[in-house]
Amino acid sequence: MKDESGGLLEWLIPFAFVFCAGWVIWHGPAYILDFIPHESESMLAQMTALHERKDVTPGMSGLFGGVADIIDWVALILVPITFILGMRTIVPAAMEFQPVRRIDKFAMFIGRITMILIISMTLIMLYEVVMRYAVEAPTLWANELTLWIAGFVFMLSGIYAMQQRSHIRIFILYDMLPRLGKKFCDAVWVLLLWGFAFFLVFGSYKQVFAIKFYRWEVFGTAFDPPIPATIQPMILITICLISLQAMINLIADWNVDPEAHSAADDIDEEELAALKKSVGAN
């Protein structure tokens, strides 16, 4: 019997990954203090003060003579473990791109993570609405946390969209070419994407990692999330993963017959059937 998508594990494991990754990100200063040496005493003092201000478990001592405590280490270890488990437990949905190869499950699990982030963002906004208008006690963190999560959703969904071949494409000229011409166009646009990724990383790596991430730049508000320190490095990581997924798609689709596109592709049969049912049409 074929497994059905949407099982309990497909919800729990992405949620566990998001929770562990969120803990690691929020306690980023602890890992920076442990793993990245600071030559400047002022930078060391600034990072230590930032960690003490953000630490969720301030009463726990660090392990191995460092700053990160046992919970920080457990969360850090569970991040790759939950990611691998999530990849292994993926059951492709009927609407997802077929066939699914083992390497495709990396991007597919990122898609599951994105879905959990969207749900989390919705719950946060709902909580803020209730607190603001029903209790009259608005939070200081909901708006910025939603903005922060939305940035990750925007980027991570791009990786999943690339694997699903669901990004915007224009086929007017492409469909007119012979098979060899289509392969040439596919190879050229992948090379252009890799070129863009290379120059983006080459031109901004130092500023992003040496200034934003290394110094753990925060937002400068009451909640003070490390949006600059996390979103900007994630942009570079995302463009690299999208470029890698584009190359995987190129190799996987090289000997596959190209799809034929027509105006009928824009018709959603399920949506059309639902509309007919709503108006009582047969």
pLDDT digit string (tens) for 186-239? 999 999 999 999 999 999 999 999 889 999 999 988 899 999 999 999 999 999
Contact 14, 86 (CB under 8 A): yes
Long-range contacts of 75-81 (CB under 8 A, 24+ apart): 75/20, 75/23, 75/24, 75/27, 76/20, 76/24, 76/31, 78/16, 78/20, 79/17, 79/20, 79/21, 79/24
CB 60 within 8 A of CB 69: yes
pLDDT value of position 265: 60
Tokens of 120: 């989390």
* Residue matched to tokens 């009463």: 59
Our measurement of the distance from residue 221's CA atom to the centroid of its chain's CA atoms, rounded to an integer in Å, reads 24
Q: How confident is the model at residue 146, as a pLDDT? A: 95
pLDDT per residue, tens digit, the chain (282 aa), is 455 666 788 899 999 999 999 999 999 999 999 998 877 888 888 898 999 998 999 888 888 888 999 999 999 999 999 999 999 999 888 888 888 899 999 999 999 999 999 999 999 999 999 999 998 899 999 999 999 999 999 999 999 999 998 888 888 888 888 889 989 999 999 999 999 999 999 999 999 998 899 999 999 888 999 999 999 999 999 999 999 999 999 999 888 876 666 655 666 677 777 777 777 766
Q: Check residue 1 and give its pLDDT.
A: 42
Query: Is the backbone peptide bond immediately before 226 cis, with ω within 30 degrees of 0?
Result: no
Token pair for residue 264?
């009928």
A 10 A CB-CB count for 267 gives 9
CA atoms within 13 A on the CB side of 246: 21
The answer to whether 31 and 24 are in contact (CB under 8 A) is: yes
Are 111 and 157 in contact by the 8 Å Cβ rule? The answer is: yes
